[in-house]
Amino acid sequence: MYDNSKSSQGSGTEYDSDYQIGQSNVQMMGMDVHNPVFAISAVAILLFIVFALIFPADAKEMLVGARTWSIQTFDWLFMIGGNVFVLFCLALIVLPVGKVKLGGKSAKTDFSTISWLCMLFAAGMGIGLMFWSVAEPVAYYTNWYGTPLNAAPNTPEGASAAMGATMFHWGMHPWAIYGVVALALCFFTYNKGLPLTIRSAFYPLLGDRVWGPIGHVIDIVAVLATIFGLATSLGLGASQAAGGLNFLFGIENNISTQIGIIVAVSAIAIFSVVRGLDGGVKLLSNINMIIAFALLMFVIFAGSVAAFLSNFFGILGSYAENIVPLSNWVGREDDTWFHGWTVFYWAWWISWSPFVGMFIARISKGRTVREFMIAVLLVPTLVSAVWMAAFGGSALDQVQNGVGALANGVGDVSLAMFQMLENLPLVEITSLLAIILVLVFFITSSDSGSLVIDSITAGGKVDAPAPQRLFWAVLQGVIAGVLLYGGGSEALTALQAGAVTVGLPFTVVLLCMCVSLYKGLKDEPR
């Protein structure tokens, strides 16, 4: 059986294995790496970078074509998968297996509930909400690339549909995707003594075969999806942050500024990742949530508290009213919007699930399944609704009243948040806070991503040497910087398309993971 000295063994039957994944580990340059996974992942990453730099247009055309094909052809699979994950997670809350404690009956939590929630939210989608909570409802309301359910744009009905659809994309569905992966990894690691790596979640289905080639493929795909997704976000996010600096301080938004942001973010992430979870990710996540809360309260009280409350209950009502039709994939009349937004989002969330899921698993020992699912599925959904009501509601109010640049619709997504804040008091201070939030969210994502990739490529070890964590933190920044400098937006778009395309096979992987997880949970003593 795999010896995971950092885990609390569960009280149920542990899974024996004739093969220990750590036996394939090799020592080199101060690192302890799993040979097939690390070597193949590193070579694949290197080959892609070279190809994207030499042929950026060809790489973009090929991978964007693959993304479009997967989204158009398998929209039904993405939608069925997303719905299954939500229903599965809700069922785990009410079924008897919800009493199972992650890590066994005597397991203790490693983090306070507040710190735990801050970390999982910051890693999950904090950065996305900074931009899309404003840009997305405005885009839907003004018919920028279609409207949800063919709602009439620039009408009260269109505003309600816009907020409900935005909430749909940032509510239970993405968090259910993360929750399935996170719970599976947490359970099989802390209750069954298996290594903290994606392949472990399939032990009930595959047995000892997870330690062979099948398991290697699962972990390699997870590594590639994570590193490409993080590098894409860092590269595109640098462009967005540079746009904010230009808006606020007049600093030119050029390649030098963007590379400088990547270097600064990577440097702080390196420092944080070397300090580990307590001194790095937890500290930054707590700080970020404090800043986010301060900015949220300002936006609420600088506008109208009554309007905020109306928006909040309106969003929840529209979300509940439209969740079924928005979840449907048959006979959709809003085809352009449906494929360009919802199916793309589901593929993107699924491609990010190995990273976010594994990170949440690593910090969630000691919780019951019921407590875990409520915190991972329902609490972030309510927090997102509060955030959308404040920022998205204020933005739509400005659009409807013809106030500011947003009255003309979404131009540059990276500026939408700042254009909304421009029409509130203390714009210099709030815009500066927004830029700090963006940068720290990038840092926490890079930091937690490095820890996740490090664990996978170390064969599931959670205490791999610091140089190994350093390697992956540096590599993320290098990939983003090199592609941005050498191939520009075309190379980064190709990288993003590649990450999204990975969402197709991982949808099947996650569906199998649900079966495997339930098989394990139902046999666990409660």
410: in domain:
yes
pLDDT for the residue numbered 463: 67
Q: Residues 346, 83: contact at Cβ < 8 Å?
A: no
203: in domain:
yes
446: in domain:
yes
> Whole-angstrom Cα distance, residue 138 to residue 151?
13
pLDDT tens-place string over residues 357-371: 888 898 899 999 999
Q: Indicate the pLDDT class of residue 181, thresholds 50, 70 and 90.
A: very high
pLDDT > 90 in the chain, percent: 33
Q: What total of structural domains would you count in the chain?
A: 1
51: in domain:
yes
Closest CA to 290 of 29, 115, 466, 468: 115
3-class secondary structure per residue, 165-209: HHHHHHCHHHHHHHHHHHHHHHHHHHCCCCCCCHHHHHHHHHHHH
Q: What one-character DSSP code corresponds to residue 32?
A: E
CA–CA distance from 224 to each of 38, 42, 355, 359, 503 (Å)? 11, 9, 10, 16, 11
13: in domain:
no
Q: Indicate the pLDDT class of residue 489, thresholds 50, 70 and 90.
A: low
What is the residue range of 380's domain? Answer: 42-522
111: in domain:
yes
102-111, 390-399, 431-440, 492-501: range with highest mean pLDDT: 390-399
pLDDT for the residue numbered 323: 95
pLDDT for the residue numbered 277: 65
> Whole-angstrom Cα distance, residue 377 to residue 373?
6
> Whole-angstrom Cα distance, residue 377 to residue 121?
11
> Whole-angstrom Cα distance, residue 201 to residue 518?
11
Residue showing tokens 């699912």: 373
404: in domain:
yes
Please give the structure tokens belonging to residue 292: 């986010």
pLDDT for the residue numbered 24: 54
368 forms bridges with which residues in the sheet? 101
Q: Does position 482 have pLDDT exceeding 70, yes or no?
A: yes
3-class secondary structure per residue, 228-267: HHHHHHHHHHHHHHHHHHHHHHCCCCCHHHHHHHHHHHHH
Q: Which residue has the higher pLDDT, 176 or 197?
A: 176
pLDDT for the residue numbered 274: 73
Q: Indicate the pLDDT class of residue 266, thresholds 50, 70 and 90.
A: confident
Q: Does position 29 have pLDDT exceeding 60, yes or no?
A: no
pLDDT > 70 in the chain, percent: 89
**CATH code, domain with 178:** 1.10.4160
pLDDT for the residue numbered 502: 83
Average confidence (pLDDT) over 136-143: 93
25: in domain:
no
Stated as kind and residue range, the H or E segment containing 31 is strand 31-34
Please give the structure tokens belonging to residue 426: 């203390």
pTM across the whole model: 0.88
- Helices 413-421 and 393-400, packing angle to 10 deg: 80
